[in-house]
Structure 1
Amino acid sequence: MKLDEIFVVPMMLLSMAVLVYALNFSPSNELGNSDNKWILVTIVGVAFSICGIAITFLCTCCKDALQPK
């Protein structure tokens, strides 16, 4: 595990936990039935994962570019 991965994974988990918590305690009529809620959780979770992977990739590329050869 590189330092980037060690940092990105907990951030993704934390953001997912906050999202699930927020959705569970929001008024149910706002989001419709629970099926819609879990579809939304899945979509946002996938988006967070993609962002995390992209951030890790960019950090790795930038670090490689910035290090003196």
Structure 2
Amino acid sequence: MSHYSDLISQFLWHLPVNWTPLAQTVSDPNLMGQIQKSWSHFIQTGQVWALLIGLVIGYIIRNLTSYG
């Protein structure tokens, strides 16, 4: 197991410095504004009703199919 972890650490050590696939550039740092905009869109489009109906139907189906 030690040999395997040594190979992985050597592989990770030799990665190029500019290899950053997870890095992102932030174009709008206003996080609370984005959350507020998304929530208002969620409410205005009626998706909240689909969520609530789905939760109720799922709860009913779970209770009908459970034993005991």
What TM-score comes out, normalization by structure 1 length? 0.38
Structure with a larger share of its residues in helix? 1
Structure number, greater radius of gyration: 2
Q: TM-score, normalised by structure 2?
A: 0.38
